[in-house]
Structure 1
Amino acid sequence: MRDTSSEIELEIKDHIGILTMSRPPHNFTDLDFITSLADTLWNLSLDNEVWTIVLAAKGKSFSAGADFSQGGVAPETPDVHPVESFRLGTRKFYDQAIRILRAPLPIVGAINGAAVGAGLGLVLACDFKVAATEAWFCAPFVKLGIHPGFGISSLLPKLIGDKNANDMLLSGRRVRANEALAFHLVDEVVEKDEVLGKAIEVAGKLIQSSPMALRSTRKTLRDNFLGSIEDILIHELDKQCELIDTNDAREGVAASLERRSAKYTNS
């Protein structure tokens, strides 16, 4: 496992754990990073002095998701068919996604920039979302030739409604901050230099309540929101494995890396 100690920064102040992703400029999510993030969230839940969390990021992006130039979310497994290797690695990644989505403490997202793919999944792990005016959100899976993951195909419609989720998931387009506000994907939009301060302000209002009641109520709300997220992630992974070894998926990833329009062949 890569040393991720410098990639997750933590400050605890007035019962608020300010957790900052520090893999600038884009805070790509691989297995080591997502595991470290999950570990930190759960470790904070054991600290009686931490009642709520602010999730922030350094760099240009909040999180641009998987870095396909470095092999995606998990390293390949030697001497294993590529599809099975993808399944094994991504399943480990999704196990950590479940831990993040089910983390016990309320989370306020301070979204400074782009939230793409798994980065959008991290947004969905937050109970309140404060976005910068230049932030944008994207679930570009169909443009990569694969099925959505990180529970997004189930959670996004619950949060923003079927119509808006269909728009995002079937088009793969970018949704700017003000449109995301209209979708109820985020709760507030402020200038970039105000994002962290506003998120801390929101967290400060939360800690005025009983931490035990806050945590208990949050669990009920999150359980309702997540539903059978474990089964959903298995379904998403099955669908991704059906597509990952197709020509369209290879072309989609190549086009993304080469910053050009993809030429799909339905094969």
Structure 2
Amino acid sequence: MPKDFSASELGVDIKDYVATVEIRRPPLNFFDFELIREIADVYEALDERDDVRSIMLCADGKAFCAGADFSNRTDAQMEDDNAGKSKVDDEGVQSLYVEATRIFHCKKPTVACVHGAAIGGGLGLAISADFRVASPEARFAANFTRLGFHPGFGLTHTLPLIVGMQNAKLIFMTSRRFNGEEAVKMGLADVLAPAGEVRQAAWDLAREIAINSPLGTESTRATLRQGLAEAVKAATDHELAEQVRLRKTADFKEGVRATSAREIPNFIRG
């Protein structure tokens, strides 16, 4: 690999033209700027390898990616959010959503293995893949409105493309969790496999893609996804503006508090 990822929170294994990229932040694999940047870095490195024709994204632990971790947020951190501050790395590589957009520029076909929860930004990460293989125990949710918040990660563009506008509205406006069987029925997941076999099923799909012509497959994928990364960039620009605005509200603070306490929030529209 062009970069040494041995000390990262990602595992990378290449076999039979399939690169398995494993998130290693168990048990819940919460995401942040650094994790999304590392995934983007790995994808870009894999794009340059002739021995990789498809990617299988999976995770160690209970969840695929349970979204952002709000459980330990202090009042001071909430004030930082209310000031609209964005988290950047030491080199000032802008916001998390810029890194997320890099993921959508990946050239290789990708399969996400969702064995547990894919929540919020974790759902956005799963949807960045071309396909999703899920277990019945998987949980998919865009719980932004339960947090008093606006969806992010480009989901306002990508989710309706996959499940249709009506299902997308249902997912966003209820913050409901859908299991693997429900996800397959609405098109949110493509393959259902038993919990103990879901990773193998995801790898098998990635391998089925990899045995085809890499030039033909990548060309076809590029045509089908033409303009997607640019549309995600436009969506995240709007999403971020709305998130910054809503971070300043009492409802957002109440949503975070209630979610951390596992309570039903008492929103006041303020």
Aligned to 1:261: 264
Counterpart among 17, 20, 42 of residue 19 in structure 2: 17
Q: Give the direction of change, closer, same or farther, for the CA distance of 1:253–1:42 in structure 2 (3 Å limit).
A: same
Aligned to 2:235: 232
Output aligned runs, 1:182-221, within 5 Å.
Answer: 182-221=185-224
Aligned to 1:97: 100
1:141-197 C-alpha deviation (Å, 9 max, x unpaired): 001001100011111111100111110001111011111101001011111111111
Q: Give the direction of change, closer, same or farther, for the CA distance of 1:235–1:129 in structure 2 (3 Å limit).
A: same
**Counterpart residue type for residue 84 of structure 1:** G
Do the aligned residues in 1 keep the contact of 2:84 with 2:247 (CA within 8 Å)?
Answer: no
Cα deviation for residue 5 of structure 1 reads 2.7
Counterpart among 32, 38, 46 of residue 30 in structure 1: 32
Cα deviation for residue 33 of structure 1 reads 1.1
What CA distance in whole angstroms lies between the structure 1 residues aligned with 2:15 and 2:226?
28
Q: Which moved more, 1:245-254 or 1:94-103?
A: 94-103
Alpha-carbon RMSD: 2.3
Task: Give TM-score, length-normalised by structure 1.
Answer: 0.91
Do the aligned residues in 1 keep the contact of 2:152 with 2:236 (CA within 8 Å)?
Answer: yes
Aligned to 1:252: 255
What CA distance in whole angstroms lies between the structure 2 residues aligned with 1:96 and 1:132?
28
Do the aligned residues in 2 keep the contact of 1:140 with 1:169 (CA within 8 Å)?
Answer: yes
Do the aligned residues in 2 keep the contact of 1:145 with 1:243 (CA within 8 Å)?
Answer: yes
Output aligned runs, 1:80-119, within 5 Å.
Answer: 82-86=82-86, 92-119=95-122
Q: Which residues of structure 2 form unaligned runs of 5+?
A: none
1:153 matched to 2:156: yes
**Counterpart residue type for residue 220 of structure 1:** T
Aligned length: 261
Cα deviation for residue 104 of structure 1 reads 1.2
Aligned to 1:55: 57
Q: Which moved more, 1:227-236 or 1:29-38?
A: 227-236
Q: Secondary structure at the match of 1:69?
A: coil
Q: Give the direction of change, closer, same or farther, for the CA distance of 1:175–1:226 in structure 2 (3 Å limit).
A: farther
Q: Flag as ranges the 4+ runs of structure 1 deviating above 4 A.
A: 87-91, 224-227
Cα deviation for residue 218 of structure 1 reads 1.1
What CA distance in whole angstroms lies between the structure 2 residues aligned with 1:191 and 1:81?
40
What CA distance in whole angstroms lies between the structure 2 residues aligned with 1:81 and 1:156?
26
**Counterpart residue type for residue 68 of structure 1:** F
Do the aligned residues in 2 keep the contact of 1:137 with 1:176 (CA within 8 Å)?
Answer: yes
Aligned to 1:65: 67
The percentage of counterpart residues that share the same residue type is 36
Q: Which moved more, 1:175-184 or 1:203-212?
A: 203-212
Q: Which residues of structure 1 form unaligned runs of 5+?
A: none
